[in-house]
Structure 1
Amino acid sequence: MRRREFIWLIGGMAACRPLAARTQQSDRVRRIGILLTETVEDDPYYEAPLKAIRDGLHDLGWIEGQNLTINIHRVAPKTAEIRRHIEELLAGQPDIVVTSGGTATGPLLQATRSVPVVFMAVVDPVGAGLVESLARPGGNATGFMRFDYSLSGKWLEILKQASPAVTRAGVVRDHTITSGVGQFAVIQSVASSLGVDVVPIDPRDDGELESGIAKIARSPNAGLITTTSAAVSAHRDLIIKLAAQHRLPAVHSHRIWVDRGGLISYGPDLIKLARLPAGYVDRVLKGENPADLPVQAPTGYEFIANLKTAKTLGLALPPAVLARADEVIE
């Protein structure tokens, strides 16, 4: 369900900030639009990064209700809905727009080549046509990568390490976006060397997911991988439920899956990643061109394992896997 939210907060802490921090901006109130492809209100997967970017802006002297307004659009990852929200957002004449990922960024750049855009976590922005190159984006958009495609192959490697008997794996991916195709292609490229047959599962609706995962589960020694996209995340709780129901070991791209009952995740810390766009927003609002700001990649990834889920699945995670984990949930 879409929800539009205008946030006007009085920066009560501003009086405690150094004068330079409070006066570095122009007198004009600047407008930031934020476009999130989110289907569940108050979803921590989106809300925590949103708070991180707002905190980052505050630390740079941008105070909501004083020199800044933020117009947040939350929209289901459906083409018509995204386009409608983009039209509404641009009608507000924002000085800059921050997007959550490729699902929102692509349609936004089709709608405007003049409004500066900073994306928070996109997979393969060059392949998706969002920028000309990572070093020199060249257009009105820049931002931060979630990871490069090589990470996708590691999900299958981790699945095989966690459950060595796995010989067939379902891969939930959105085939309608370039990153969904790319992630599956990389997983497929390493599958034969690991002795695993991989099968794509589309997340178009609950019924298709249920039938696709049930089909994989009928194979002996089966497992599951979820790739990154708004369409996949929209079905997160159902996928976790189905993996438990069919006793499928599964590897995911972000810790929120493990926090909510998934087995293993390997990917960037999205909270740390979300603070970085504030710096680019600050620089653009001060006059720099997105075309000259290089796209940045994460400097590290986190490995999270859920022992409670492993026990529910009847799976004993090997000591080598547990030793590799940055955090083990018990």
Structure 2
Amino acid sequence: MRRRDLLAGLLATTTASALRAAEPNKIYRLAIVSTVADLSETGMYKPLFVELRRLGYVEGENLVVLRFSTKGDTSRYDETVRDAVSSSPDLIFVSGTSHLLLRVKALVRSIPVVGGMNDPIALGIVTNLARPEGNITGISVDAGIEIFGKRLGILLEVAPTASRVGFLCTEAFWNSAGGDAMRAAAHNFSVKVVGSPLQGLAQEAEYLRVLDLLQREHADGLLVTDGPQHLAHRDVIVDFAKGARLPAIYPYREYIEIGGLMAYAIDRQDVNRRFARYIDAIFKGAKPSELPIYQVDKYTTIINLKAAKMQGITIPASLVLRADEVIE
């Protein structure tokens, strides 16, 4: 049995046991700590709230949701986490970056934590995936450094003569191991990285500055990294790529749904539903140390032929045949 299947089985078993321990008439307090500003039920966390509602948690009835955002400002991590702890939640859900989860690990000892993370063992978040010690569990979305080469390879199939590619990422990411991996991938494909990382809090004006710079530096393609803050500005990013007729590859399906060209992506809706099930299990008595960290290992290639036609971009037939989903 594969490790992922084993972990899923253990989670299902633990969740079933927790269901028997549910407390009637309890009001549950959920603190959401994130790097993004929109933590509403209609924003990027909509699938989480939909699944929580399906599981019987309704905000304003038996669920109190306490929202805390760093708004992309890394200097606010500790303050935001302390504010969340002061709100006396039953559970803290952490989303955004592994660095934020690391700050939660350093500052939160007894409150159960469910979080999204890259490689949790390499980062020092846990030492055992099947039985995470301490108060943290969650979902690992870690495709390794190979993800940049994979996405860039797909992009260059669509733009085989490209020699200048922009990577849309934050300055923190650019200066991290992820940035090193992106540049290594570009080197392996003999393309030059152009443009600039996003500075500061990366509001809309900053996205426009960076995207305008890509155009002035004659980028032949665009690769958008996985940063959750990009999702809040996906309209700006996709509109730019369409207007510039620039081949672009995205990390999530949400970009394709508004006219993006293609994505090599995890299923974020499935991930958010799984987060809700972790929250449900802990609310009903399970301990984080009893809930295995789930490892996402399925990526899908999505091609938007309608967008390609509008942009005057030809998608190779070989890529269309390999795609998991084609939008026509």
Interval containing the TM-score (normalised by the shorter chain): 0.7 to 0.9
Is 1:90–2:88 an aligned residue pair?
A: no
Aligned counterpart, 1:251: 249
Aligned equivalents of 2:75, 2:251: Cα separation in 1: 27
Helix, strand or coil at the partner of 1:253: strand
Alpha-carbon distance in structure 2 between the residues aligned to 1:301 and 1:250 = 17
Aligned residue for 2:64, secondary structure, equals strand
Contact 2:36/2:229 (<8 A) preserved: no
Query: CA–CA distance in 1 between the matches of 2:255 and 2:208?
Result: 18
SS at match of 1:176: helix
Q: Deviations over 1:67-95 (max 9, x none)?
A: x4231416322246655543443223112
Structure 2 counterpart of 1:309, one-letter code: A
Q: Point out where structure 2 has 5 or more consecutive residues left out of the alignment.
A: 1-16
- Give secondary structure in 2 for the equivalent of 1:46: coil
Distance 1:305 1:42 in 2: 29
Partner of 2:191: 196
On the 8 A contact 1:34/1:70 being kept in 2, the answer is no
Residue 95 (structure 2) aligns with:
100
Residues 1:70 and 2:61 aligned together: no
What is the alpha-carbon distance in structure 2 between the residues aligned to residue 108 and residue 224 of structure 1? 33
Once the two structures are TM-superposed, the CA of residue 256 in structure 1 deviates from its matched residue by 0.6
Deviation at 1:201, TM superposition (A): 3.2
Tell me how far 1:252 sits from its aligned partner. Answer: 0.7
1:222 maps to 220
Offset of residue 124 of structure 1: 3.0
CA shift digits 1:27-70 (9 cap, x unpaired): 44443223343334758661332234414533xxx67677x423
Tell me the distance in 2 between the aligned counterparts of 1:101 and 1:25. Answer: 29
| More displaced 10-residue stretch of structure 1: 313-322 or 231-240 | 231-240
Structure 1 residue aligned with 2:274, among 248, 253, 276?
276
- Residue 152 of structure 1 corresponds to 148
Q: What is the aligned partner in structure 1 of residue 314 from structure 2?
A: 316
**1:187 alignment counterpart:** 182
Change (3 A) 1:89 1:74: closer
The amino acid of 2:139's aligned partner reads F
- Aligned counterpart, 2:129: 134
Q: What SS class does the counterpart of residue 29 from structure 2 fall into?
A: strand
2:178 counterpart of 1:167: no
Preserved contact between residue 59 and residue 65 of structure 2 (Cα < 8 Å)? no
1:26 to 2:20 alignment: no
Please say if residues 18 and 286 of structure 2, whose CA atoms lie closer than 8 Å, have aligned partners that are also in contact: no
Deviates more, 1:316-325 or 1:135-144: 135-144
Asked if structure 2 preserves the Cα contact closer than 8 Å seen for 1:306 and 1:328, the reply is: yes
Q: Does 1:261 align with 2:259?
A: yes
- Residues 55 and 29 from structure 1, CA distance in 2 versus in 1: closer, same or farther, beyond 3 angstroms? closer
Once the two structures are overlaid, the 10-residue window that deviates more, 109-118 or 275-284, is 275-284
User: What's the TM-score once normalised by structure 1's chain length?
Assistant: 0.78
**Quick check: 2:55–2:280 contact (8 Å CA) kept in 1?**
yes
Partners of 1:22 and 1:63 lie apart in 2 by 17
- Aligned residues between the structures: 305
1:71 corresponds to which letter in structure 2? V
The residue type paired with residue 189 of structure 2 is L
Superimposed CA distance per residue, residues 117-175 of structure 1 (whole angstroms, 9 cap, x where no aligned partner): 111x4333344443335344333211012232232321111101122122221111224
Q: Distance in 1 between matches of 2:40 and 2:307?
A: 24
For 1:218 and 1:300, the matched residues in 2 are separated by 36
Supply the distance in 2 between the matched residues of 1:48 and 1:285 (Cα, whole angstroms): 20
- Letter of the structure 1 residue corresponding to residue 101 of structure 2: T
Provide Cα deviations, 1:305-330, integer angstroms capped at 9, x if missing partner.
22232223221111112222232233
* SS of residue in 2 equivalent to 1:97: strand
**Within 2, Cα distance between the matches of 1:92 and 1:209?**
33
SS at match of 2:301: strand
Percent identical residues: 29
- Aligned match of 2:9: none
1:210-255 Cα deviation digits (max 9, x unpaired): 3433343345561111111233333322222222233221111001
The structure-2 alpha-carbon separation of the partners of 1:317 and 1:147, relative to structure 1 and needing over 3 Å to count, comes to same
Preserved contact between residue 116 and residue 140 of structure 1 (Cα < 8 Å): yes
Greater alpha carbon shift after TM alignment, 125-134 vs 190-199: 125-134
Gaps of 5+ in 1: 1-19
Superposed displacement of residue 287, structure 1: 4.1
Cα-Cα RMSD: 3.2
In 1, the alpha carbon distance for the partners of 2:31 and 2:104 equals 11
Select the structure with the greater relative contact order (CA < 8 A; seq sep ≥ 6).
2
